Amino acid sequence: MSEVVVVDYGAGNTRSVCAALGHLGRATVVTSEPGRIKDADFVILPGVGSARSAMEHLNETGAAAALRDRFTDDVAILGICLGMQLAMARSEEDGGVEGLGLLGGDVVRLREARVPRLGWSVVEPWGEAYYFAHSFAVRSPEAIATVEGVTVAVRHDKFLGVQFHPEKSGPAGLDFLDQCLSLV
């Protein structure tokens, strides 16, 4: 069975991601060790917390460099919520934070009547509803899906980023994760 690594950056809700993968019969390792991140068959960069503290943690542990190496080698990475946002060049969160810079694009505060955006939205063009909880969103030329004009998924080779939380999106979310894993 191939190894799925869930990257730990100190504030993420890694438990729910691991539970969701457990439902799919996949064992997970939660770590920020660069060696494990580089060698895993599949890496998930989960998403809860603030951009600044997450990037500090990834830089200090060497996980950031390992993620860049993986990306260059074109090995699968799934970024969830903040995990997707961290893949961009920069974010305006926390007064401006430099991201991993894997993909072109940046992260800006949502401009809508009520922020954070909390709840379920149907993702276009996929037609399925997933659960969102975010105050910031990406702008990227690599966008592949949107909600009301806001980019909610990006893809570049084997990097896939989603703004929603598949691990909290019920059966539809588990299906989504299963499809991601089957691509490896």
CB of 155: closest distance to other proteins in angstroms?
22
Residue list 77-136, contact with other proteins (CB under 8 A): 82, 112-122, 128-129, 131-135
Query: Which residue type occupies 7?
Result: V
CB of 151: closest distance to other proteins in angstroms?
16
> Does residue 183 contact residue 76 with C-beta atoms inside 8 Å?
yes
Residues known to be catalytic: 81, 165, 167
| Closer residue to other proteins in complex, CB, 10/104 | 10
Select the residue interacting with other proteins from 106, 172, 178, 180 (CB under 8 A).
Answer: 172
Tokens standing for residue 98: 């430099």
Q: Which of 118-157 are b and which e, b meaning 16 or more Cβ less than 10 Å from the residue's Cβ?
A: eeebebeeeeebbbbebebbbebebbbbbbeebbbbbebe
Phi–psi pair at 126, nearest 5 degrees: -75, -25
Task: For strands 42-45 and 4-7, give the pairing.
Answer: parallel
CB of 52: closest distance to other proteins in angstroms?
9
| Closer residue to other proteins in complex, CB, 16/59 | 16
Task: Reduce the secondary structure of 54-107 to three states and give it as a string.
Answer: HHHHHHHHCHHHHHHHHHHHCCCEEEECHHHHCCCCEECHHHCEECCCCCCCEE
CB of 176: closest distance to other proteins in angstroms?
11
| Closer residue to other proteins in complex, CB, 2/135 | 135
Stretch that binds other proteins, among 18-26, 59-67, 95-103, 152-160 (CB under 8 A): 18-26
* C-alpha span between 130 and 160 (Å, rounded): 16
Question: Does position 27 bind other proteins by CB under 8 A?
Answer: no
Select the residue interacting with other proteins from 26, 34, 50, 90 (CB under 8 A).
Answer: 50
CB atoms within 10 A of CB 109: 12
**Residues engaged in binding other proteins (CB under 8 A):** 11, 13, 15-16, 19-20, 22-23, 48-50, 53, 82, 112-122, 128-129, 131-135, 148, 165, 167-175
